[in-house]
Amino acid sequence: MAKRCRYFDVVNIFICVVLLVLGFYFGQYLGHLTGYERMRPIQRDELEQPTPDRLFDKVKVFCWVATHRVSHKTKARAISVTWGQQCNRIVFVSNATDDELPIIVVKLNESRSELWSKTREAFSWAYNNVLDDYDWFLKADDDTYMHMENLRALLNEYSPDDALAIGHQFKSQGDYPDYHSGGAGYVLSRESVRR
């Protein structure tokens, strides 16, 4: 009896394998007869566009990127032709001009000790020149990569009229206040820049 059950199991498995192989070849044959293309391009209706694309005009982000003369042709240029194009406006804050980049020149020495001065100068420029034109103000370094669509989707959940700062906050050691990591980038609302 056990031999007979084992025999039927083997026969059933064999029949299943044969049917699978025949089904595969039959499917291939029918595919060629009907002219079916495996990789048809996806066509999207305007209404089906991902939400972040529609947020470009709704969530206005001013981007400023800290850089310096040595990185203009490499890092700054890479940002300019990639994620920088997805900012509503982008400027580079540097110690030197460049004809190919929108640069705000700050008269500071390029050193870590001057980073806060460069940041203060950039936000001061934004406050005096473009504060009411944008909702959010992104600070990034020239080695930062941003996914602007995702950032806009996040910012869309908040009001730029509330004082808000989004970024990785470092805990200060000693007498200094906590501060945002500049390298990772951070975003201030219009109200935060105003204050």
CATH of the domain at 86: 3.90.550.50
Sequence-distant (6+) residues with CB within 8 A of 155 are 59, 61, 135, 136, 166, 187
Residues 9, 7: Cα–Cα separation, whole Å: 5
Residue 175 lies in a domain: yes
In this structure, the answer to whether residues 88 and 144 fall within a common structural domain is: yes
pLDDT at 35: 53
- Total number of domains constituting the chain: 2
Q: Quick one: 30 and 70 in the same domain? A: no
Please tell me the number of Cα atoms within 13 Å of 100 on its side-chain side. 12
96: tokens are 């030197």
Domain that holds residue 31: 8-37
Residue 27 lies in a domain: yes
Which residues are CB-contacts of 171 (< 8 A; sequence separation ≥ 6)? 178
Same domain flag for 101 and 157: yes
Domain co-membership, 101 together with 19: no
- Residue-by-residue pLDDT tens, the chain, 195 positions: 556 667 667 888 888 888 888 887 777 666 555 554 555 554 555 445 445 568 988 999 999 998 888 888 889 899 999 999 999 999 998 888 888 888 888 887 776 667 777 888 888 889 899 999 999 999 999 888 999 999 999 999 999 999 998 887 777 777 777 666 667 788 989 998 998
Is 156 in the same domain as 131? Answer: yes
**Which tokens is 176 given?**
């200094």
Residue 21: inside a domain: yes
CA-CA distance, 185 to 88, in Å (whole number)? 17
What are the angstrom distances between the C-alpha of 41 and each of 12, 38, 48, 51, 70?
Answer: 40, 10, 15, 21, 42
Question: Could you tell me if 105 and 26 lie in one domain?
Answer: no
CA-to-CA distance for 34 and 53, rounded, in angstroms?
36
Whether residues 28 and 99 fall in one domain:
no
What pTM was computed for the model? 0.69
**Residue 42, in any domain of the structure:** no
Residue 136 covered by a domain = yes
Is there a contact between 180 and 171 (Cβ–Cβ < 8 Å)?
no
Beta-carbon count within 10 A of 133 CB:
12
Other C-beta atoms lying within 10 Å of the C-beta of residue 33: 8
Three-state DSSP class for 1? coil
